Structure 1
Amino acid sequence: MGALYLVRHGQASFGAADYDALSPLGFEQSTVVGAELRRRGVEFSQVRSGTLARQRDTAATAMKALGCDVPVIEDPRWNEYDHVDISAHHAGGAPQEDSRAYQSVLDAALAAWVEAGDSGPCAETWPAFRARCAAALADLVAALGKGEHALVFTSGGVLGALAGTVLGVPETGLLKLNRVTVNTGITKLTSGRGGVNLVSYNEHAHLEGEAARLLSYR
């Protein structure tokens, strides 16, 4: 049975001019998750990443620590939703100053985004986002041979939506699972005759104990 390991990117630069850039902590997290994947001894035949800088840099850093030379194929379908566009249309905009206050505004905006459905004002609606994430997963599963494993570097919204979709509750996945996803958390799916199944969500033992200082959510 094949497995897919989906890794959330390292910490981005919340409050900075370029949010998409990995922070110094984000680079540390990426090295640690790469070492964790190496410790597990999993061999990957397919590796994917979104095209956002924080995803690509997480992939490059983690792959170096993993010691894996499989080419990383970039696919924009693994990109995060546009939080700026969503908060602008559904919450009147939200300044990135206080993380907790921003999360509260974003939560409300995401709920409104989901509620708006296909008629929403954003450049990408919730149904469109959900569909492209599902298509990216389906294509990756199809690319795997029997017993082969894949590795993906993506974002929290994608992870929440896909986990929810596998469980039959995509909206709940986005609105509930997404907000608790840690930077470089690992989500594991399996693919076999019974379809795609969720084995674990948001694993982050590699960010506990002596590495607890690396734990972050944004």
Structure 2
Amino acid sequence: MAGVKYIITGSVNNVTIKWVELSSAKEAAKKYLGLTGSLLAAAAETQEGWNISTDLTIKILDVETGEVVFAKNVSGREVLGKTPTFSYDTLIGGIKKAAMDAVESIRPELSKYFKIRGYIVQLRTSPDKEKRYALINVGSKMGVKPGQEFFAYSFQSITDPLTGKESCDMFKLPVTLEVTNQVQENKAWTVVEGDKDQIMRLKLGQLVERKPLESSSLSKLGL
């Protein structure tokens, strides 16, 4: 009744804490790899100390059918530091951050189920009509970032000649809208990429949908 399509649920399966020491690895890197080794050693320095790992099971349920459409076990890690002892709040905070790290690793997969959609609210065209820019009504509040791409859709009313019944057909236009660095809380400017004739097909009010994310973030230093 509320229009909900999917629900995310899950559980914390395990939490582990261990002390990580990388002194020998750092020294070897500095000795044999020069400047690169020094950079690796500096990165390793941030990973030393108490490391807390959180294992989660994430599930997505289809509200209409009750079917589990996605299930995956993921793990995240957070470095608590080198302090011999830590408080209860520090421990709980570390568990939460490790859990967030775990969920972040599957953000591209989750984006396939929880799509960001909006509309074109303004269009600009260069004098030679070679370039076109579209302002969409979704921004940083919805997780939109520079470099992300959106698809654009058009709708067409179709009437059955025999029954007279009308239906609406949605089709994707052969263009992509790439988000520029002009991103605000509730809107963002995009550059329309595609054939010159195709980019001119965009109109105000047309639906846009963010392309499923790709995993591009570097994982933390493996231990």
TM range (shorter): under 0.3
What's the TM-score, normalizing by structure 2?
Answer: 0.22
What's the TM-score, normalizing by structure 1?
Answer: 0.22
Highest RCO, 1 vs 2 (Cα 8 Å, sep ≥ 6): 1
Q: Which of these two proteins has the greater Rg computed from alpha carbons? A: 2
